[in-house]
Amino acid sequence: MNRILLFLLFCHVSTPVQHSLKFDYTASSGVKNIPDFVVVVFVDEVPVGHCDSIGMKVEAKLDWAQKLLDDDREHLMWYTDRCLFHLHSYKELTDRLNKIGAVHTFQRMEGCEWDNETGEDNGFAQIGQDGEDFIAFDPKTLTWIAQKPEADYFKHIWDSNRFNNEVWKNDLNQRFPDFLKRYLDLGKSYLLRTDLPSVSLLQKTRSSPVSCFATGFYPNRADIFWRKDGEELHEDVELGEILPNHDGSFQMNVDLNLSSVTSEDWRRYECVFHLSGVKDDIITKLDKTVIKTNCDSPTGPVIGGVIGLLLLLAVCITGVFMWRRRKNGEGQQWT
């Protein structure tokens, strides 16, 4: 008898030469107004396709991905069979939980990272429950690592299924890297492009830190920092997460606490944005005249509202992706 959890895919912080393919699964019980089951495919953190319990079919989000599915019916059927298998399996679980009034969210992340300079690839598979680590697969030892006492039961069962674990290993170490290299080649005009961001200085009030905010850049292999007299600062600064925008680009920010800095010394500070593969950095001098703020301006309330909304959005997105960014981690059948 199959016993199926279900699960979401997560993000790792990529190095400058790494590419990634990730499958994010999530299923929930007792949560209103969202699909019971969703799976999203990411290439280099860009969503390229998805399937859910409402549409009941695989849909591409980018033109090159749609062309791949149109031209390669076998590839489409692999995704369709996989999606429907997990969808129906997970629905059995959520229906069972709904009957007893339980509210749970299950997540699974699986995929691989590939270094296009060294050729090294690493597969990962991670399962979570209600936002916490549950169990992970180690393709080197073909065993499962329980991360909560409740996972010992599943570890015992899954470790006894050597054949299924071999399938996991093949997917993580061969199938997924092959998929990733194919996708990077087909979608290179989009996935391997370089977009520079717009950079702004934001400040809610005169006593608030100044935030250097960069948005619209691609890929997500970037760095942003404050420096004084040409030297990078490590104190009185707070670096934010790299977060996705709705259009596939990314955003990030770094805050500078100026409470102990005199007005005369502001000219000594500058914000530096560096995008991997781009020679020239974007340098923004700390200048009161270019800071967007709600101080001393008739349009202040509007600007302040925009800044507040941006900061709130950043906090919310950070919370959603926090579990993903802590991970390094398909399965066919769970018994």
Q: What is the CATH number of the domain that holds 35?
A: 3.30.500.10
- Is residue 332 situated within a structural domain? no
Residues 235, 120 within the same domain: no
Alpha helices in 106-171 (DSSP H): 152-159, 162-170
- Is residue 325 situated within a structural domain? no
- Is residue 37 situated within a structural domain? yes
Torsion of CA 138, 139, 141, 147, to 10 degrees: 10
d(CA 93, CA 115): 37
Structure tokens at 187: 């979608």
Q: 148: domain range?
A: 18-190
Structure tokens at 278: 């781009």
Residues 29, 76 within the same domain: yes
Residues 183, 202 within the same domain: no
d(CA 331, CA 4): 10
Residues 149, 265 within the same domain: no
- Is residue 87 situated within a structural domain? yes
d(CA 198, CA 215): 6
Maximum C-alpha span of the chain:
73
Angstrom distances, CA of residue 57 to CA of 76, 123, 215, 262: 10, 26, 33, 60
- pLDDT of the residue at 143: 95
| Contact (CB, 8 A) for 237 and 225 | yes
Prediction pTM value: 0.69
d(CA 111, CA 21): 5
Contacts of 71 (CB under 8 A, 6+ apart): none
Final residue in a domain of this structure, among 190, 225, 240: 190
- pLDDT of the residue at 98: 57
Structure tokens at 27: 């299923």
Domain count, the chain: 2
Final residue in a domain of this structure, among 165, 190, 215: 190
Residues 184, 202 within the same domain: no
Residues 212, 295 within the same domain: yes
In the block, tokens 């995008």 appear at: 275
d(CA 238, CA 29): 37
Final residue in a domain of this structure, among 190, 210, 240: 190
| Contact (CB, 8 A) for 87 and 51 | yes
Structure tokens at 5: 């959890």
Strands 250-256 and 121-129: unpaired
In the block, tokens 């069979």 appear at: 81
Contacts of 333 (CB under 8 A, 6+ apart): 2, 164
Residues 314, 212 within the same domain: yes
3-state secondary structure of 280: coil
**Nearest partner of 257 among 286, 224, 241, 235, judged by Cα:** 235
- pLDDT of the residue at 31: 65
**155 Cα distance to chain centroid:** 27
Residues 186, 209 within the same domain: no
Instruction: Tell me what percent of the chain is helix, strand and coil, each rounded to the nearest 5.
Output: 35, 35, 35
Tens digit of pLDDT per residue, the chain (335 long)? Answer: 333 333 333 333 333 468 999 999 988 766 667 777 899 999 988 899 999 888 888 999 999 999 999 999 999 999 998 888 877 776 665 565 555 556 677 888 999 999 887 888 899 999 888 888 989 999 999 999 999 888 898 899 999 999 999 999 999 999 999 999 999 999 999 888 899 999 999 999 888 999 999 999 998 889 999 999 999 999 999 999 999 898 889 999 999 999 989 989 999 999 999 998 898 999 999 999 999 987 654 444 444 454 454 444 444 444 434 445 445 443 333 33
Residues 137, 182 within the same domain: yes
d(CA 312, CA 318): 10
Residues 60, 136 within the same domain: yes
- Is residue 57 situated within a structural domain? yes
Strands 198-203 and 291-293: parallel
Residues 105, 246 within the same domain: no
Per DSSP, 174 falls in state I
Residues 158, 27 within the same domain: yes
- pLDDT of the residue at 192: 87
